[in-house]
Structure 1
Amino acid sequence: MLAWLHKLFSTDEPRTSRLPAEEIAQHIDLAIKEFDSRIALIPGYRKKLLPAVESALLHAESLIERIPGPVDVNAKAYGADPRVNAYFGSPEKLEHLFSHSTEFRAFSDQPAQANLEYIYALMVMTRHRKTRPGHALRGDMVQSDVMQDVVYFSDHHLVKPAESEIEVRRDLRERAFQHLLAESVQKVALHSKEKADLERKKVHLKMEIKTRHAERSGLDFLHEKSTDDAAGGLYSRQLSEIEQKLAKLRRRLESINDYLDLLIDVLNHSPDYCGLESHEDCLNRINVVVDAVAGHQVPYADIRIGKTRRCGVIVRYPRKELVDTSRIASRLHSLYS
């Protein structure tokens, strides 16, 4: 009977997952390597890590899937596609970004990419929205000094160029997972720093208490009263508080199992460290915010990695349009030469 009940409620059946078992296993190995290799000494560590690693990968994948694109970005598209027009202030800026991006250019110059027609990448930007006076059509009249909301993008940067959209998204997922491992390492580093700071304060307070005790003993010998009894009591209370905090800190990461628990906790709470919101601005050709009838939707993803937030969209750029020196770079060179 007991054996039948155990079989009925057993949770040892094979788990189903959207991700291949080999892929999850590789990421478990990566997590151990990047975080703390001692975790491999814990019996059953792979089984304990598997759900958390899978959860983190699926969360990252769900975010990356929602990044808009690929958007064709090229000289012709600047005039034809309202999205490209909105992302860049001019076709010269577009040309300069791709031709002088170190990462993008290094990928393009690889012999293996010589026959590529297009190169894909994540383009990250900073979005700005401000209100300024402008002109607007009111009925049949053009009215001046009408306050308008304007959106523009700056600080463009290209991330992870690749030969396909799939490759870009896959690499971005890997970067998100690596960030979670970095967050785990950072928590251990902060824990060590906090403990070291408290240990220093503890030593300092002990020396202060010892010094005051010696001074008080000398004053007693002279039959005088010390005026520092209150300060000595304060130091003693502070020392007691520090010792209590240290005891809690030591219990938090007392054994290698605690390190495994920390890693699992970070992976299970990946939304706290990585997030993404999809947005669209309805803009006219001069980037003024308008209603749906008068403009076009300009999509972007608001990507959050740790404390960093940037806007992003996946783009596709024709390799043949890369130039050795952009028009902007030429003007800067002539200006300063």
Structure 2
Amino acid sequence: MFNWLFRREDTTSREDVRQALDRIVAVAPQVKLANRYEARIKSVIGKTLDHAHELVGALPAPRDATPGAWADDPYLRAKFATPDDITKVIGESRDVRDWFDGNIAADYAFAVLGATLVERSVLVSAVENGAMRSDVARTAVGFEDKRMRFCSDTDESLRQELVQRIVEQFALEAMSRVAGQEARRDALQEHRALLSARMHMLGRRGAGMSRLTAAADVSGDATRLQRDFEENEAALSALGSPADSIETQLQTIVDLLADPAALISIAHRELCLNQMNLLMDARCDEPHADIAIMLARLPTQPPQTRAVEIVRIARRDVPPAGAAFDEAARFVL
């Protein structure tokens, strides 16, 4: 009765928690050597999973990415210049080809279509204040670097896979940050060795009669070197001991999982586009279409923002395997 009233759920008992833990360990296997690693990750993984489910759930229902629907679908027309462009993107996706090769009986696959939203200022001919002008400033919208990834047989199973992929990204980001710390530690240690060598040379310059002429300069240089040496030691101390590397990995993962919204987010944006993919005022009289897109901020290196949506792909729309190679060869030759 109390569980029903308060809607409490033990996140550590969910199957997706176990899957998420396995994914994290696969990316960062050394964390298994840390003290109480499972309990520490489970204490925060529920928040990350809830955030991931919220992000994936915000994606709209799948859209048929088929050349035959291009003329009647403003979303496809906005993202693909021609129906052949849809076929080209499908054919270039190794994920799509491999999935259909491994699922001979399947007629359809669900995948994530990602693209980079690009906005450019252009001058076009338009009627402005009752007169035709050829230098009216407009914003042209384009979708570049289109890719289809992460195939599955159903919309539901694909969304579940995306949730786990998000968890993996947190582990990857943690390992990237730890690697950055180790690289900084190496650079600081090299700098410390250089400072030590320079201080030793200054000490030798003060020996014998040379001290009578170089004392002032040596003293000033020694003071600056001592200050640099102390700053270097403080920076090394802040990074911790190399022996604590495993603990650092685990703690970095835990810290990221505890605040998932700071790393990955999805924003909703409405675009009012005419047939030339120019941004228009929603109240304009010119024919236009209202396009809703989801922009995912991804913690890649460097960070990227991608327009993402789930699409359904028909096997019949996958071009022959040789078509992609023939197209590539045409450009090379």
Q: What aligned pairs does 1:133-282 form with structure 2 within 5 A after superposition?
A: 133-136=123-126, 143-145=132-134, 146-219=136-209, 223-226=212-215, 227-250=217-240, 254=244, 256-282=246-272
2:59 maps to 1:67: yes
Letter of the aligned partner of 1:89 in structure 2?
A
Residue number in structure 2 paired with 1:9:
none
* Distance apart, 1:249 and its partner CA: 1.9
Deviates more, 1:287-296 or 1:200-209: 287-296
Residue number in structure 1 paired with 2:117:
127
Mark the runs of 5 or more structure 1 residues left unpaired by the alignment. Answer: 1-13
User: Structure 1: how far apart are the matches of 2:189 and 2:319?
Assistant: 58
Residue number in structure 2 paired with 1:34:
27
Residue number in structure 1 paired with 2:48:
56
The structure-2 alpha-carbon separation of the partners of 1:25 and 1:115, relative to structure 1 and needing over 3 Å to count, comes to closer
User: Structure 2: how far apart are the matches of 1:254 and 1:179?
Assistant: 23
User: Structure 1: how far apart are the matches of 2:83 and 2:260?
Assistant: 38
Alignment deviations for residues 63-105 of structure 1 (CA, whole Å, 9 cap, x no partner): 1222234111212211111111111111111111112322211
Q: What aligned pairs does 1:49-128 form with structure 2 within 5 A after superposition?
A: 49-110=41-102, 113-128=103-118
3-state secondary structure, aligned to 1:109: helix
C-alpha contact (below 8 Å) 1:304/1:310 kept by paired residues: yes
C-alpha contact (below 8 Å) 1:126/1:311 kept by paired residues: yes
Alignment deviations for residues 224-244 of structure 1 (CA, whole Å, 9 cap, x no partner): 443322011111111122122
Q: Answer with 1 or 2: which has the greater Rg.
A: 1
2:314 maps to 1:318: yes
Residue number in structure 2 paired with 1:295:
288
User: Structure 1: how far apart are the matches of 2:220 and 2:12?
Assistant: 64
Mark the runs of 5 or more structure 2 residues left unpaired by the alignment. Answer: 1-6
User: Structure 2: how far apart are the matches of 1:114 and 1:142?
Assistant: 60
The structure-2 alpha-carbon separation of the partners of 1:326 and 1:31, relative to structure 1 and needing over 3 Å to count, comes to closer
Letter of the aligned partner of 2:112 in structure 1?
L
C-alpha contact (below 8 Å) 1:39/1:257 kept by paired residues: no
3-state secondary structure, aligned to 1:161: strand
* Distance apart, 1:258 and its partner CA: 4.7
The structure-2 alpha-carbon separation of the partners of 1:193 and 1:15, relative to structure 1 and needing over 3 Å to count, comes to farther
C-alpha contact (below 8 Å) 1:92/1:327 kept by paired residues: no
User: Structure 2: how far apart are the matches of 1:331 and 1:38?
Assistant: 46
- Aligned pairs, how many? 319
2:242 maps to 1:285: no
Q: TM-score, normalised by structure 2?
A: 0.84
C-alpha contact (below 8 Å) 1:277/1:303 kept by paired residues: yes
C-alpha contact (below 8 Å) 2:178/2:248 kept by paired residues: no
The structure-2 alpha-carbon separation of the partners of 1:209 and 1:131, relative to structure 1 and needing over 3 Å to count, comes to closer
User: Structure 2: how far apart are the matches of 1:142 and 1:248?
Assistant: 66
User: Structure 1: how far apart are the matches of 2:53 and 2:40?
Assistant: 21
User: Structure 2: how far apart are the matches of 1:194 and 1:333?
Assistant: 44
Residue number in structure 1 paired with 2:9:
16
Deviates more, 1:180-189 or 1:279-288: 279-288
Letter of the aligned partner of 2:60 in structure 1?
P
What is the root-mean-square deviation in Å for CA atoms of aligned residues?
3.0
Alignment deviations for residues 195-243 of structure 1 (CA, whole Å, 9 cap, x no partner): 22212211211111111111201335x7544332201111111112212
The structure-2 alpha-carbon separation of the partners of 1:299 and 1:252, relative to structure 1 and needing over 3 Å to count, comes to farther
